[in-house]
Structure 1
């Protein structure tokens, strides 16, 4: 028995020695760009890190920048262009985010649109080249959102529907064509293949108008030299062009991102687009055009869309998908109330919208933004394969991930991620996503049961030692600031209200607004805005002169903020605007006070008239009572007299009868 044990041990030992001697005496680790680690020597092998296939951000969207350009540099370039007043533009025709254009022609054009979409359409705003413009929703039978459409009414019998990026015109045509009957007198035409569509945007609409007037208009031939004007918010412009088969240019005052991020126009060249629209776009983005817009690709556009809180087709708008990773939302869950005429009746999906409106608890979910701090979350692909680092199992968030309340042991589900931008693509070390979040009251109730609360992080976002020193009011959204964690991972983020709810009254999320102005605006609006930096990006210091001046600085106080003349002029304009707004507020308060005095005076006069009426009615009732008493007395006296006369007559008759006897 001992001999057999000795023999087995010897064989195992010899095998181990042979394996050891076959390795090189020195082994070096080599980390590939792909995240794969190899041993450098006579024998190489691949180390397969955890979560293979989920390490890095994956996308099929192309960038307009050179390959391997870091996302942070691309994001900063785009946002710097917006902050500087330079236009940016995108043309997504050759990408998965291609637009669609479907024409609606015939006498029944308006009737058809009214029966299928959520807005009320009319031809009341048609003047020369100007038409009416609407943003409306196409719903399924249950009221779930298929797409948000830009609808341009160019005449009483003609209009166009522009889809969201990624929704093909052919797909929209197939959805709506079965609803057409011969008596509808309407025809749908998919014009996508003969169209060229691009967007030009900026933080100031005048920048886009300048590019149009100086660079686009000289390169198109107007038919009959027609005069026209660029459309306002609820208008569209149809410009007939020369050459080819009835070409025209449709301009609508809308882009695919929320106005809090950028404003501008969508230019749709219909028919002969290769000769006109593509030619114009190629000139705008050419290297020789130094004043042209900055071109961004589909990848940069998608990051801008998510950062601005704008909904995407088959991302947040899911009713087109047969097998979606979550129940498709209604427009009310995506903050698209403005696309629905609540007083309108009889349109596709109306019953579903009505059921949500009637629910006293409101929509079952709401759209939030989720921000992941990349400095805090070290993702797997940043350390994968390095054996000196313990893998943290923190992967990049992706659409479809569930998020839970941090500290709840994944027992309190918050919602589901619907879109995730490329990490760092905002120019900051963060990963931004969008999520459909469950009702706040239900989540807060479960958190209280576990002694959890929302950390608003006021000490970080609005430090008392810097900025204006003001404590902000509560956030508009009850779950703003809630810390969440990705299900099955370790990435931690926080919920924020979408920018369209945090930046209102024309304020832009990329504007360099001084801290005290932002704080004043949020106090007036009752909003919670994360603004704690100067216009140059630095925080106010406690010993800075600005912290010791009045809330609205004078010219001397503004000069203390810096010697830069442009900054001084900006601050002076801002202060003048604030003074103007304060004066307007004072006038409004005075007007309201005068109105209250007038209402009080009218109320007193009405009360006096009421008292007089009561007095007259009381006097009349008293008079009526006296007259009634007099009448009753007169009747009683008359009855007594009649009774007396009757008794006398009876007596005389009795005497007469006795005398006759």
Structure 2
């Protein structure tokens, strides 16, 4: 396929994410089932969101951080009747299985099971996703809160949850691997346009979803990554809580993740500057049909959207991105 064909398809996908409906097979992402009696308390203590307050049929995004609040992964937790199902990044599942296992103590009633190989994940992206959901017989989920989920009536052992995984509206399906092809065919028949992993990555950069090994590393904390919606400031102690609480209380976030419109190609890792002043680092780059775009961390004191910067030798302008927030929450 030529470069122009790739660009044209990407342009169509970007438009469909804004106006139509896309679908992507995210089965290579990790799925971890956390079961037994202490599952909610355990996850509540290991991640940033208020897992313990959720009921079956609800869900949320949450961040796993280390003891100094550096990010390990952004995950989605779906609360089932007898377990919690975690959707985690594809390059983080083995690490998280081992990391979580370290915190299960003798008296804890917690079981971890990697169910990635026996399950599948499909996401619907875009404002016309509701029409596809209706065709799947799951119209009851339309209009529900983010993370809420129900089973797909015709597919045993499945769930469909609100949220596309990006800033665009949509839904995420998790189902037995044996049912994936049948459901995928129904989704295509309902008019969804399939996209590749590379197009998903392009959309995630344009919309500002941070990714492990790029924006989510042990250099950054979830407040710097703009993941305020994943953090409960009212829950009890959890790993990394003291650092996050202190940063929030004293408004001590030193850098923020932004989008950067670029005049040309820039290598991830390039230094972001104004004159001789170093402001941060480019973490992701993508090219669209008519522009270049990246994600990068900008020092808080330097300012935010509207800044004219250099990224390496390339000119850039700092812009807002819809997936993240830069404001301290109001209580």
Determine if the TM-score, normalized by the shorter chain, exceeds 0.5.
yes
The 5 Å alignment of 1:460-471 reads none
Q: Which residue of 1 aligns with 2:240?
A: 349
* 1:174 counterpart (98, 103, 106): 98
1:434 aligns with 2:295: yes
Aligned-partner Cα distance in 2 for 1:294–1:347: 41
Aligned-partner Cα distance in 2 for 1:121–1:491: 43
Deviation, 1:151, is: 0.5
CA contact (8 A) 2:256 2:298 kept: yes
CA deviation map 1:352-384 (0-9, x unaligned): 212312334x3011111111134xxxxxxxxxx
Q: Which residue of 2 aligns with 1:600?
A: none
CA deviation map 1:245-280 (0-9, x unaligned): xx511222122212xxx111110113xx1x311332
CA deviation map 1:607-636 (0-9, x unaligned): xxxxxxxxxxxxxxxxxxxxxxxxxxxxxx
Aligned-partner Cα distance in 1 for 2:53–2:242: 27
1:398 aligns with 2:267: yes
Q: Which residue of 2 aligns with 1:643?
A: none
Deviation, 1:318, is: 0.9
* Unpaired segments ≥5 residues, structure 2: 326-331
Aligned-partner Cα distance in 2 for 1:347–1:124: 17
Cα distance change of structure 1 residues 240 and 173 upon mapping to structure 2, 3 Å threshold: farther
* 2:187 counterpart (255, 259, 284): 284
Aligned-partner Cα distance in 2 for 1:305–1:124: 27
The DSSP-based 3-state class of the residue aligned with 2:51 is coil
Aligned-partner Cα distance in 1 for 2:163–2:225: 18
Q: Which residue of 1 aligns with 2:328?
A: none
- Asked which structure has the greater RCO (Cα within 8 Å, sep 6+), the reply is 2
Deviation, 1:283, is: 4.8
1:142 aligns with 2:142: no
Q: Which residue of 2 aligns with 1:390?
A: none
CA deviation map 1:155-190 (0-9, x unaligned): 2x41111113x3343332111112112311110110
CA contact (8 A) 1:103 1:190 kept: yes
Deviation, 1:313, is: 1.9
The 5 Å alignment of 1:48-197 reads 66-83=1-18, 85-93=19-27, 98-122=28-52, 125-126=55-56, 131-155=57-81, 157-164=82-89, 166-197=90-121
The 5 Å alignment of 1:476-491 reads 478-487=303-312, 490-491=313-314
CA contact (8 A) 1:147 1:313 kept: yes
Q: Which has the larger radius of gyration?
A: 1
CA contact (8 A) 2:76 2:87 kept: yes
Aligned-partner Cα distance in 2 for 1:255–1:314: 21
Deviation, 1:228, is: 8.5
4+ residue segments displaced more than 4 Å? 239-242
Aligned-partner Cα distance in 1 for 2:76–2:319: 27
The 5 Å alignment of 1:353-392 reads 353-360=244-251, 362-374=252-264
TM-score (norm 2): 0.90
User: Greater helix share, 1 or 2?
Assistant: 1
Aligned-partner Cα distance in 2 for 1:341–1:191: 28
1:213 aligns with 2:134: yes
Cα distance change of structure 1 residues 181 and 75 upon mapping to structure 2, 3 Å threshold: same
CA contact (8 A) 2:282 2:295 kept: yes
Aligned-partner Cα distance in 1 for 2:74–2:247: 18
The size of the alignment, in residue pairs, is: 323
Cα distance change of structure 1 residues 67 and 276 upon mapping to structure 2, 3 Å threshold: farther
CA deviation map 1:560-598 (0-9, x unaligned): xxxxxxxxxxxxxxxxxxxxxxxxxxxxxxxxxxxxxxx
Q: Which residue of 2 aligns with 1:416?
A: 281
The DSSP-based 3-state class of the residue aligned with 1:193 is coil
Aligned-partner Cα distance in 1 for 2:324–2:139: 35
User: Greater strand share, 1 or 2?
Assistant: 2
* Unpaired segments ≥5 residues, structure 1: 1-65, 218-226, 320-327, 375-395, 444-477, 503-661
Aligned-partner Cα distance in 2 for 1:125–1:107: 14
Cα distance change of structure 1 residues 228 and 500 upon mapping to structure 2, 3 Å threshold: closer
